[in-house]
Amino acid sequence: MWQSLKNVYHLTIAVLANIWFGFPSRKLTVIGVTGTDGKTTTVGLIYHILHVSGASASMVSTIGAIINGQTHDVGFHVTTPSSWKLQSFIKKASEPSSDRKFLVLEVTSHALDQYRAWGINFTVGVLTNVTHEHLDYHKTWERYVKAKVRLLKAAKIALINKDDESYKQVSNLKFTTYGKRGADVTFGQFKFTTKLIGEFNKYNILAAVGVCKALGISDADIRKGIETFTPPIGRQEIVHEGEFMVMIDFAHTPNSFEKILPEIKRITKGRLIHVFGAAGKRDDTKRPLMGEVSAKYADIIVLTAEDPRGEDVNSINKQMMEGIEKSKEKREVYSIVDRKEAIIFAIGLAKKGDTVFLTGKSHEKSMNYSGAEEQWSEYEAVEEALKT
């Protein structure tokens, strides 16, 4: 009931923002990307391919906004900004409106459920996947899918991952599909080379291929864009490479762990040391699952803070330990509340051939320990640890 009332408020603000800024999305070709995992990489890919093709493009994603070549901050822990800020970005992206301009938006289920994307004229809507996340808000996986599907219904062209579980929930809609086989866009149909690692990134690439083909971008430009694309900041980013490697990634769901950890394990000659936490006052049902998946692949696990928001970190870590203890593998496990200390400790453990893999914070510039944002940099923490 309370959330419904809040959504009425959000809708009112969205309507007023559209009117104030003159429904600016009508002057653009807007591509919206939603999904549990892979949104930021897919948005970055589409944006990069459009630029390679010579098109005028802007983007708004978790890592920030690039509007007509100018970089803007979207705020702490923000993927889809408030309606007012979002419409102001769209307005800037639409100026001047003399030529065909593109805008690629990363759209969350919260933004869709709260009508923050209301009034945006989506040409293409993409659904990458729907896995275990945000059930504290949506309550059930089916309602989570339903929120994501709002983007597909709002778009003129809908693109969906045929190999994802969510496909079964939206088979009554008209859409274009991508996947390994039996889809409109498949690995076999469209050959490409890429610097991105992992099967999961091939799906992100196929999503970008499907979008760009629908927009009329040539196959040559699409392939060139894929080949020259590098991961966004904090996505499979190697920040130290010597006797051992340190890599930063944003993975923070059971599914993203299941996709990325075996890839990191595969390229690691020695031990995989995994440092991670789980957000406080958010979906707590995923915590044991995250621990269980990490224990399948990591040799050493260091549990620590990831925006506890006043919740006891030891309590959060204990829930992740429940999943780790289910594993048949015997792992070294440490719980260190302070994230900087945890990173220093993990890097101190590293030997020749090892990989220290830090997940969850990535590009974020703040840490919420007790309800207030405190300055944080995963990169500075690594740098300090290496010096130590």
Ordered domains of the chain (ranges, CATH): 2-228 (3.40.1190.10), 237-387 (3.90.190.20)
Return the pLDDT at 294: 97
- Checking if the pLDDT of 315 tops 90, the result is yes
The residues, ordered by sequence, that sit 6+ positions from 10 with a Cβ below 8 Å of its Cβ are: 83, 114, 115, 116
How far apart, in whole angstroms, are the C-alpha atoms of residue 234 and residue 237? Answer: 5
Residues 132-158 have a mean pLDDT of 89
Return the HEC string of 119-164.
CCCEEEEEECCCCCCCHHHHCCHHHHHHHHHHHHHHCCEEEEECCC
pTM: 0.92
pLDDT band at 171 (very low <50, low <70, confident <90, very high): low
- Checking if the pLDDT of 27 tops 90, the result is yes
Token representation of residue 356: 């220290």
**Phi and psi at residue 219, to the nearest 5°:** -60, -35
The residues, ordered by sequence, that sit 6+ positions from 312 with a Cβ below 8 Å of its Cβ are: none
Contact 34, 62 (CB under 8 A): no
Angle between helices 287-297 and 313-324 (to 10 degrees): 50
Token representation of residue 152: 């597909």
- Checking if the pLDDT of 12 tops 90, the result is yes
- Checking if the pLDDT of 15 tops 70, the result is yes
Q: How far is CA 244 from CA 230, 231, 386, in A?
A: 22, 21, 11
The residues, ordered by sequence, that sit 6+ positions from 210 with a Cβ below 8 Å of its Cβ are: 126, 159, 176, 178, 184, 185
Return the pLDDT at 136: 77
The residues, ordered by sequence, that sit 6+ positions from 156 with a Cβ below 8 Å of its Cβ are: 122, 123, 124
How far apart, in whole angstroms, are the C-alpha atoms of residue 242 and residue 258? Answer: 26
Return the pLDDT at 328: 79
Return the HEC string of 347-376.
HHHCCCCCEEEEECCCCCCEEECCCCEEEC
Average pLDDT for the chain: 93
Return the pLDDT at 371: 82
Contact 214, 159 (CB under 8 A): yes
Contact 362, 353 (CB under 8 A): no
Return the pLDDT at 98: 63
Using one digit for the tens of pLDDT, what is the confidence trace for 207-232? 999 999 999 999 999 999 999 999 99
Least reliable range by pLDDT among 133-137, 151-155, 377-381: 133-137
Amino acid at 68: N
pLDDT band at 205 (very low <50, low <70, confident <90, very high): very high
Using one digit for the tens of pLDDT, what is the confidence trace for 324-359? 999 877 899 999 999 999 999 999 999 999 999 999
DSSP 377: -
Return the pLDDT at 139: 86
DSSP 64: E
- Checking if the pLDDT of 5 tops 90, the result is no
Residues 308-314 have a mean pLDDT of 96
- By percentage, how much of the chain surpasses pLDDT 90? 82
Return the pLDDT at 255: 94
- Checking if the pLDDT of 108 tops 70, the result is yes
Question: Taking Cα atoms as reference points, which of 35, 6, 33, 24 lies closest to residue 115?
Answer: 6
Return the pLDDT at 76: 63
pLDDT band at 172 (very low <50, low <70, confident <90, very high): low
Token representation of residue 325: 């203890």
Least reliable range by pLDDT among 112-126, 165-179, 241-255, 297-311: 165-179
How far apart, in whole angstroms, are the C-alpha atoms of residue 62 and residue 98? Answer: 29
Least reliable range by pLDDT among 15-24, 140-149, 246-255: 140-149
How far apart, in whole angstroms, are the C-alpha atoms of residue 180 and residue 176? Answer: 14
- Checking if the pLDDT of 105 tops 80, the result is yes
